[in-house]
Homo-oligomer: A and B are copies of this chain.
Amino acid sequence: MTVTPADHRYLQVARTLRKEIVDGVYPVGSQLPTEQQLCERFEVSRYTVREALRRLRDDNLVASRPRAGTLVVPRPETNSYAQDVMSINDLLAFASGAQLTIESNAMVVIDEHLRERTGLSVGTEWLAVRGYRADGTAAPVCATEYYINRAFAAVGRLLQRHSGPIFPLIEDLFGVSIVEVRQEIAAVPVTSELAEVLRVEVGSAALEMQRTYKTSDGEVAQVTVNTHPSSRYRHSMTMRRVKGQAGQ
């Protein structure tokens, strides 16, 4: 079936007016016809016209004031896309189902190779937890590496039993608050060590996701590196622009 919701009179009216506004029939600052006139022109009731205008107002195309009419407002600056909302749960969704199996758990000192992989400073000491996440009997969903600030290293003992994201654990245990998450995603060829764990061919494509969690002090609490075989994972997320925020 045609997915076009072109039915509904008020959507048709809204679409027509929208087009006329951008075509310059009603330039910025000008006044749209009155609701009564729009009723006559489109041969619809005032309810329908108002419902159409409501859409245009929701999109910040026009503004209405009693007696002054409905005015075409200038489009907010192109760079004001600043307020968009996404759920951090999207970011973490993958972690919910699969269970973490820990293969090693030890303090490490960052060398040049690990600096490249984590962005942490050479010579600093971190709790490294390495393992994989699997979903039942199938091959692992991803290989996982945690690098945890030594100040919070006590969480290491809780990881075996824990499923899901780690940073709420740190927040609860130490009373700190994670205020910033930086994520980097890259496509990489699978190294020989990981190929064995993930049961894929060496050199095949994999998705490497590195996340850095910062506290309100600006300190790095944790760095996570997940490596997903290409065939078993797609990372997805949705952002929604918050409405009624653009003006001003």
A residues near B (Cβ < 8 Å) are 3-5, 11, 18-19, 21-22, 55, 58-61, 75-79, 81-89, 91, 121, 168, 171-189, 204-207, 216-219, 228, 230, 233-241, 243
Contact = CB atoms under 8 A, between A and B. Distances in A.
Contact of A88 (B3, B61, B84, B217): B84
Given A76-B87, A88-B239, A180-B239, 8 more contacts: A5-B219, A18-B175, A22-B175, A58-B216, A59-B216, A85-B85, A187-B233, A207-B207
B174 A241 contact: no
Which of A18, A61, A86 has most B Cβ within 10 Å?
A86
B175 A19 contact: yes
Given A84-B85, A239-B88, A176 B18 contact: yes
Contacts of A75: 171-172
A162 to B, nearest CB: 13
What 4 A-B pairs have minimum CB-CB distances, sorted nearest first? Answer: A205-B205, A22-B175, A187-B207, A187-B230
11 contacts: A18-B176, A75-B172, A81-B89, A84-B87, A84-B181, A180-B240, A183-B236, A184-B234, A188-B230, A205-B205, A205-B206
Given A184-B236, A217-B11, A241 B61 contact: no
Given A175-B61, A238-B182, A216 B88 contact: no
B216 A184 contact: no
